[in-house]
Structure 1
Amino acid sequence: MMFIHALADVQSKNIGMNTKVWQFSVVLGDAVIGRNCNINAQVFIENDVVIGDNVTVKSGVQVWDGTRIEDNVFIGPNVTFTNDVMPRSKQYPERFLGITIKKGASIGANATVLPGITIGENSMVGAGSVVTKDVADNAIVVGNPAKKIRCLA
């Protein structure tokens, strides 16, 4: 059984068992969300998005087309994902660059992740960091631009 708050706008039928989607969230029709996820209030998820199992997306996050989030990922409040390298009003790229977040990764509150980035398995992005380059597996990165300060394993 899944829980969709009465004040959420969930158009997708591709949502796994035991997932919760809270108030004022929007999930577009082609999005895929796995089992046992927690999509907090005021989250927006576009069509070309795949979210794995056991993922937490905290409030104030927008997940744009091309984003792939693997299992057991934590996304903190107000994390900002981007998918357009040269954004201009009413001018769209041929394709959007996606972001990939590998299993077990955690992204701290208010971090910004630029287009085309991969965040490695079990890595951690510190709160407020600006991720401009791929993050290696098991790395902890902080700052602007985010730099590796140590490894978890």
Structure 2
Amino acid sequence: MQEQLFYVHPQAEVEAGAHVGSGTRIWRQAHVRTFATIGEQCNIGKGVYIESHVSIGSRVKIQNHASIFEGVTVEDGVFIGPHVCFTNDMFPRAITPAGQLKGATDWEVTPTIVCYGASIGAASVIVCGVTIGSFALIGAGSVVTHDVPSHALVFGNPARFHGYICRCARRLTAVQEQDGQHTGWCETCQTYCTFER
């Protein structure tokens, strides 16, 4: 019998057919559905729900009670705060126009992508169909309805642009743009951060 290379709390549920990478820890009351994929060295907090066909990269931290529904792709190194909710249908209804309860094939899943190194603050809602760029930072309690550029700081309802962020999650100053490249100064790192928007 092959040794399990990841940890699942006795009160968590990982359905048959889900893939979990080595070094990943899944804590109590989390639920990972069939055909979900989770990479290596992730931390999946208490009560997290990961639906079928969700793709989670490696070294991702998902805090307590986040809900990640089908159609979501989370790249490596992403932080998802507690109680974050991803939607996946732009036109949700419990019933069909004829009044019948919708089945699994009646939903119109709209994909969402969270790119490398991005962070999503607690209790944010991510409306489906958006791309959150690399190292973007979503402030707590935000409702994201549009794409978020790389290294952007957004917050509010709806979330709006409030500046640029370093890889260390501190604000960049003196941001300049030339030929599609942005450069900003990070006081914390004492270095320039260069990125494409």
TM-score (norm 1): 0.96
Tell me the equivalent position of 1:129.
142
- The match for 2:47 among 30, 42, 46 is 42
8 Å Cα contact 2:18/2:33 also seen in 1: no
Query: Which stretch has the larger CA shift, 65-74 or 10-19?
Result: 10-19
The one-character-per-residue Cα deviations of 1:58-93 (angstroms, maximum 9, x if unpaired) are: 011111001000000000000111011111113455
How many angstroms apart in 2 are the aligned matches of 1:43 and 1:98?
A: 20
8 Å Cα contact 2:18/2:32 also seen in 1: no
Tell me the equivalent position of 1:114.
127
TM-score (norm 2): 0.75
How many angstroms apart in 2 are the aligned matches of 1:104 and 1:94?
A: 30
- Equivalence map 1:5-84=2 (5 Å): 5-11=9-15, 12-84=17-89
TM superposition shift of 1:104: 0.2
**Consecutive unaligned residues in structure 2, runs of 5 or more:** 97-101, 166-192
Relative distance call for 1:94 and 1:41 in structure 2 (3 A) is closer
Q: Within the alignment, does 1:2 sit opposite 2:3 as a pair?
A: no
> Number of paired residues?
153
Query: Which stretch has the larger CA shift, 25-34 or 4-13?
Result: 4-13
8 Å Cα contact 2:115/2:131 also seen in 1: yes
How many angstroms apart in 1 are the aligned matches of 2:139 and 2:118?
A: 11
Greater relative contact order structure (CA < 8 Å, 6+ sep): 1
- The match for 2:118 among 70, 87, 105 is 105
How many angstroms apart in 1 are the aligned matches of 2:107 and 2:35?
A: 19
The sequence identity of aligned pairs, in percent, is 39
CA RMSD of aligned residues (A): 1.2
